[in-house]
Amino acid sequence: MKIEDVRKSAYSMPLTNPSFPPGPYRFFNREFFTITYRTDPEALAAVVPEPLEVVDGLVNYEFIRMPDSTGFGDYTETGQVIPVRFKGEKGVYVHSMYLDDEGPIAGGRELWGFPKKLARPKLEVESDVLVGTLHYGSVLCASATMGYKHRPVDHNTLLQGMKAPNFMLKIIPHVDGSARVCELVRYYLEDITLKEAWTGPAALGLFPHALADVAKLPVREVISALHFKTDLTLGLGTVVFDYLAK
């Protein structure tokens, strides 16, 4: 293979058999279960990087069921996002993500810098309860429940929140182990079709684990819960801050 051939074809690894196809990536019937809870301000300050600013003491714990996505297939994801402000604009910082599919783990980390790790999240309905769980191996790390479709939610308000920017820290090491890329990335959800949205009583438990540390942002009070389904496109990102720039 010639040098020019490498330049033309290289966008992911392995070079000749990439783990995911090029985007854009469209999701159909993407199902969200989000519990907003209050945590310790000191815990948030320890994990949110400057120049982002913590807005308040809240965290959104999310379960996302993705049965039909272009390129990435059928998988489930869970994790924590934190309300933040960047240069006066409100958005969320993606703090942790756990999922069960190698393609979006590789694509999410390589393209955007999503903090993805392999685990076993589930989102399902058990009788009259929506249930989300996260297992890392055999160990239960998160358990979330919500009364199933108790009350409808205003679509316009929810859509405005979904259109806010998302931020994450993209880190790619050099061959000597030092950081070669260390950037704050911003992306947006695009072409959103909100199909249904509900709320109800909810509970959330987070449990300590050495490698799935969701409990380091402890639950002090559950504020609200949302359950909704959408079609949307995961927009590609832009770099808004370079930590290695001199």
Q: Is 109 exposed, middle or buried (0-12, 13-18, 19+ CB in 10 A)?
A: middle
CA pair distance 207, 209, nearest whole angstrom: 7
Would residue 122 show up in a list of annotated catalytic residues for this protein?
Answer: no
- Please give the Cα distance from 121 to 133 (Å, whole number): 6
Residues written for the chain: 246
Q: Which residues contact 108 (CB under 8 A, 6 or more apart)?
A: 97, 114, 116
Give the active site residue among 87, 116, 195, 229. Answer: 116
Q: What is the sign of the dihedral through the CA atoms of 49, 51, 57 and 62?
A: negative
Token couple for 142:
């998160």
At a CB cut-off of 8 Å and minimum separation 6, what does 60 contact? 34, 35, 36, 80, 81, 82, 83, 92
CA distance 142 to 14: 33
Q: Which residues are designated catalytic?
A: 116
